Structure 1
């Protein structure tokens, strides 16, 4: 037994509209441009953070996690965003002086890092500095 189905004329003449094919309104364009700008800044900040982390790893024999924690610690002490802190560390590596407040925060963070390393080497159970999160 076979069944025949009759399709209406013009059934295969489908029209598809995609949102990307239509001209977006001015508000959508502005929102998209703002999002692109935000993503570009985030990517640039990420590159600076990775570079600063590498510098910290080279200068203080530590792994990625402690190097990032050190940068975060400096950032918190100075009340500055992490990408700005990283950019200052990279600029200092290239010869520009590190701001005085960041110098003091770096000294404190390095002192904490070395104290934790000594505690780990001696085998004692040393808790991290209060308020400092581990990655």
Structure 2
């Protein structure tokens, strides 16, 4: 008995005669492969930066004080207002625990966000 799965082909199994180079099918598979490679790269980067972002989130939760979700929103706001990547904001904040100073645009944005948080501008 034959099923739909029996007829499914892996793009790597296609013989050149069945799938000549440059066909629309091959182009679609190549585009999907490129997209998946980019996604894997982004996920790898996220896995590397996740710990420092979580540490910064915890620091904001203590400084706020606030919930984890609000701390995330504060970090995003600081990133946007200082025109700094979120992971760089997190690294700068975590580095202050060892005595490093925070870059002025990030520090100013964080100070403003925490002030709004403490005065009820956020939940």
Normalising TM by the smaller chain, what interval? 0.5 to 0.7
The answer to whether structure 1 residue 73 and structure 2 residue 64 are counterparts is no
Q: Where does structure 1 lack aligned partners over 5 or more consecutive residues?
A: 1-10, 117-127
Gaps of 5+ in 2: 15-25
Q: Does 1:19 align with 2:10?
A: yes
| Residue correspondences, number | 104
**TM, length-normalised to structure 1:** 0.59
Relative to total residues, which structure has the larger helix share, 1 or 2? 2
Structure 1 residue runs of 4+, over 6 Å off?
none
**Aligned-residue offset at 1:22:** 4.4
1:24-63 equivalences under 5 Å are 31=34, 32-63=36-67
Report deviation, 1:108. Answer: 0.9
Distance 2:85 2:47 in 1: 14
Counterpart pick for 1:107 among 107, 111, 120: 111
- For residues 80-99 of structure 1, the aligned pairs below 5 Å read 80-99=84-103
Aligned Cα RMSD in Å? Answer: 3.0
Q: TM-score, normalised by structure 2?
A: 0.63
Question: Which structure is larger by alpha-carbon Rg, 1 or 2?
Answer: 1
Secondary structure at the aligned position of 2:99 is classed as: coil
- Distance change >3 Å, CA 33–CA 72, structure 1 → 2: closer
